[in-house]
Amino acid sequence: MVFSKELICHWFARVKLSRIVMLVTLALVIVPLFTHYYISNVERDRDRPVSDVHRTRTKLEAYEDYSALKASDLKMRIQEMLRIKGSVSTELRDLEAKRQRLQSEVVSFSHKIDQLKSELMRQQAELNRLKLSVEQARVAQREALQQNTPEVAPPLGLVANELPSRLEGVGGAASSSCTMATCFDHSRCSLTSGFPVYLYDTSLFPATQFLRTAVTQTVGYNPHFTSDPAKACVYLVLVGEGEKRRNLSDLSALPYWGGDGRNHILLHLSRNDLTIESSLVPSADTSRAIIAQTSHPQFRPGFDIVLSVAMGPPGGDVWAEAASMLPARRRYLVSFQGVPPSKEGNLFNLTELQSYLSPTSDEILMDTGCEKSSELVVSGWEWGLCGTDSSRAAILRQSTFALIPAVAGSPAVGARLYEALKAAAIPLIIGDTPLPYNEVVRWRSASVSVMWARIPELHFLVRSIPDIDLLSLRRQGRLLWESYCSSLQAVVDTTLALLRDRLQLPPPPAPETPAISIFTDGFVPLKTEPVVADAEPEESLGPLEPPYPSPSYRRNFSLILTQGFEVWNTWADPFWLYPQLPFDPFLPSDAKFSGSGMGFRPIGGGAGGAGKEFCDSLGGNNPREQFTIVMLTYEREQVLMNSLSRLHGLPYLNKVVVVWNSPRPPLQDLRWPDIGVPVHVVKANRNSLNNRFLPYETIETEAVLSVDDDAHLRHDEIIFGFRVWREQRDRVVGFPGRFHALDLNHGGWLYNSNYSCELSMVLTGAAFIHKYYMYLYTHWLPQAIRDKVDEYMNCEDIAMNFLVSHITRKPPVKVTSRWTFRCPGCPVSLSEDDTHFQERHKCINFFTQVFGYTPLLNTQFRADSILFKTRIPHDKQKCFKFI
C-alpha cells in the first residue's frame, strides 16, 4: 500500500487536533471543581474564631485578612516567620555541608582505595622482584661453588733481584745466528714481571744533544721504565746516529753487559744520516744484543728490530700535522722526488718506469733533477730524498700514490714511508725490504707492494683500485703512522711493545683517573627517601641485585694470542691492558649450557619466552652484568636531587657517579636521596665537559650510561637501552639522535637536530658507551679536540661520536622513538644558548680537519623492542609495555 505525502500530513494534523480538544475538555472540568473546593474552605474559616483560624489554616495563608490583626500580633507573626526561615536556612546549610563532607569522604576513600590497589600492585611487583632476586642469588651461589677458574686482577710484578752474571768466551759466531731462544735470558722476564726496562746513560756514546734529551724523556715517560738495573728485564743502549762499527768495542765495558750483551737493545736511531754504511751489523762487539735500527744489512728475523725513521718530534700532539684524506683521487696518480741510483747493475730503471706510466691520461710526477738535501746523506744504492721538507710535503699532499723504490736495507725507505703516510699518500713500494715492525704490523693494509718484475703492470694495478679501497688504505696508513711512526715517543714505545709482544708479556694496566670524593673524610651526607615525581609503569623490569662489578683483566695473557693482529693493526693500541674490551668475542650459544661459561642468565632457562620470562633474565650472549650512571652537574642541586630520586629501584644499576663540576662544594644540609645503590660524588679539578668521559677508578662496569643531570628517562627506556647496548657493545647506544648535514650554501658540515629519516650521532646526554672509549677519549684522542671542547664549553658529545665511529667504522644506534628527554621546568641549560648551534657547526668542521676526514656514518636504523606493536595472546606479556 502506498501513501502519499499529503495524506500522511493530513493524518498527523487530525491526531494533533484531537489531543488538543481532549486536554481542553479536562481543563474545563477539573479547574471548577478545585476552585469550588478551596472557596468552601475559605468560607468556613471565616466563620470560626481567630484562635481556631491560626491553628487550622494551612493552605490559603496568602488569602488571610491581615487587616483584622493587631500590630503586636502582626509583628510577632513576622518575627516568628523570620525565625522559622532562619532555622530552615541554617538546617539547609548544615545539611549541604554534611553532604559535601560525605561526598569529599567518598572521593577520599575512593582515592585511597585506588592508592591501596596501586600500592598492592607495587608491593606485589616488589615481592616478585625480591623472589626473583633471591632465585638469582641462589644461582650465583651455585655458580660460585662450581667455578673452576680463578678471579684475576691486573698482573702483579715478579721481577729479578740481582744483576746479570758475567759470562766469558762469547764470540761473534754466536751473535750472527742469534734467536730469542738462544740469545735472550727469559728468566729475567717472568710473565708477571711487568717488563721493566733500564736505560743506560745516554752520554756514554756520541749522539746529538737532541737525541740524548729526547730519548731520556721518552723512555722516562714509558710505563715500563725502571731506575733499578737489578730488576730490569731488558737494557736499552743509545748508540747514537751514524755510529761506526769500530766505535762499538766499548759495549763490553757496560756495567750490566754480562759478558755477552744478552737482554740488551742497541738503539740506533736514523734521523739525518740515512746511509747503509752507518748501519750496525752483528759482530763480536754487539755479541748477543738485539739491534734496533732503520736499516739492516744483515737482518736477523725474529731477533733484530726494524725501526721507523725518527723524523718526528719527541712527542706531543701530532694530529695537527697530518693531511686531509680527501679527495680519494688527487692531482697526481703517482709522484716521486729523489736521486736515482748511481751504481751500475741496479735492477730498476726510472726511465723504464716512466715509459710504462706516461702514455696515459693520468698525471705522473717524476722529479729526479732536484739537488740533494743538505740535511741528508745518500749513497748510490739508495733512492735518497731531495728538496726541502715543505716542497716534498706539498707534492705528496697532491699525490694518490707515493713511489718508494725499496732497496734492501736502505734507511731512505723508512724516511719515504714516514713522509708518505704523514701526507696521506698511499705508499707504492717497488721491491722487497723489511718494513718497520713488520712482524706485528701488516703494511699490506696501508700500502701497495709491487715486485720488480711487475713494473709493466704497475699502472693497471694502481688504476684499478676503487675509491673505497683507496680511502681504506689511506685511513689505515694514518692509523699506523699516528701509533708507531709519528714521533720519537711512538718509535721508542713501539720498539719496547714489540719486544714485550715477543715475550708474550701483557702490557701495563691502562691508567685510571682517581675518583676523589667531594666530601671530606668522616663527613656523612644527609639522606632522605626518594620522591618520585611521576609513578613508573607497573612493570617488572628485572631483579634487585647488590652491586656486581664486571669481571676485569680476564684476558691478560691470552689477548695477544687470540687477537694480536687486531691489537696491532685494527685498534693500534698494544701499549696498554684494559680491564675489558668492547671487542671481546662471544661464546657459542651452547657453551653456556655445557659448563664452558658461568654467569649466563638465558631467558626461560634457555627455553625462551615472552614478557615475564624476558624480564626475569637478561638473556643475550654475555653473562650477567650491570651498568654505571655517570652524571655531570654544575650548580643545579635541586635538579640533580630530582634526577637521582627517579633512579630509585632501577634494576641492574651498579652505582651512580656524580661529577661535581662546580667549584663550590654541595651544601652541608643538602639531603641526598637514598636510591638503594652507592652514589659517588667526584670532585672535578676544573669545570670541563671533558670530565664526563674521564675513566674514573670507581667505575667498575663495562657499561656506562652517560646522562645529563636534567635528563628525564623512564626506567623501561633505560633498561631497554641497556639490553640493546649489550648486543652492540662497540657502539654508542642512546636516545637523542642528531645528524651532520652538508652546508649547501657555504660548504662544510652543519650540525642538525631537525627530524630526519637518518642520523649519524647519538648525544651522550643520554647514551650507553663502553668504558674503553673513556680511556681513549682521555689518553688517545688528540689534545686539540679536548682543548676545543674546553674553549666552547660544548661539543664533547660530538667528539665521542667522532672517536667511536673512527675506531669501529660503524654508526651509532638510536633506541625508542623518544626525541626530547629534558625534564620540564628545569633551569636553562647550555644548549639553550643562541651560540650553541653555531659552535657545534664549527666543532664538526674542526674535528674533521683534525681527523683528516669525517668518520661519522649515517644510519636509517632505530632499535625498538621485539613484539613492539605485535598482537599477542591475552595471557602473554610484551617485552616492554610502552616500547
CB 130 within 8 A of CB 537: no
Positive/negative CA dihedral, 611, 612, 615, 620:
negative
Report, as residue numbers or ranges, the catalytic residues: 797
Q: Which of 423, 624, 503 is nearest to 187 (CA)?
A: 503
Q: Which three cell numbers stand for residue 163?
A: 744483576
d(CA 721, CA 767): 8
pLDDT tens digits along 711-735: 989 999 999 999 999 999 999 999 9
The closest of 283, 265, 254 to 503, measured between CA atoms, is 265
Query: Residue 428: is its pLDDT beyond 60?
Result: yes
CA distances from 852 to 127, 324, 475, 746 (A): 56, 4, 9, 20
Read off the pLDDT of residues 321-358 as tens digits, 9 standing for 90 and up. Answer: 678 999 999 999 999 887 655 444 444 566 677 777 76
CB neighbour class for 799 (10 Å; exposed up to 12, middle 13-18, buried from 19): buried
Nearest Cα to Cα of residue 498 among 313, 234, 240? 234
Cα–Cα distance between 78 and 68 in angstroms, integer?
15
Residue 426 pLDDT more than 90?
A: yes
Selection from 603, 534, 532, 541 nearest residue 881 by Cα: 541
| pLDDT at residue 345, as a whole number | 42
3-state secondary structure of 739: strand
User: Position of cell 667526584?
Assistant: 682
Residue 389's pLDDT is: 61
Q: Taking a C-beta distance cutoff of 8 angstroms, is the pair 719, 727 a contact? A: no
How many of the other CB atoms lie within 10 Å of CB of 644? Answer: 21
Which has the closest alpha carbon to 575: 479, 481, 501?
A: 501
CA 37 to chain centre: 98
| Amino acid (1-letter code) at residue 758 | E
Residue 863 grid cell: 632499535
Asked if residue 341 lies in contact with residue 381, where contact means CB atoms within 8 angstroms, the answer is: yes
253-284 residue pLDDT tens: 899 998 889 999 999 887 766 666 677 888 88
Residue 605: pLDDT over 60: yes
DSSP class of 188: G
Query: How many CB atoms lie under 10 A from the CB of residue 578?
Result: 22
Who contacts 191 (Cβ-Cβ below 8 Å, separation ≥6)? 155, 158, 504, 505, 506, 557
Pick the more confident residue, 456 or 228. 228
Q: Helix, strand or coil for residue 399?
A: strand
Apex CA 498: angle with CA 494 and CA 502, to 5°? 170
pTM, full prediction: 0.82
Q: What b/e sequence results for 736-762 when a residue is b if at least 16 CB atoms lie within 10 Å of its CB, and e otherwise?
A: bbbbbeeeeeeeebbbbbeeeeebbbb
Report how far residue 786's alpha carbon sits from residue 770's, in angstroms, rounded to the nearest whole number.
19
The DSSP secondary structure of 683-741, one letter per residue, reads EPSS--GGGGG--BTT--SSEEEEEETTB---HHHHHHHHHHHHHSTTS-EES-EEEEE
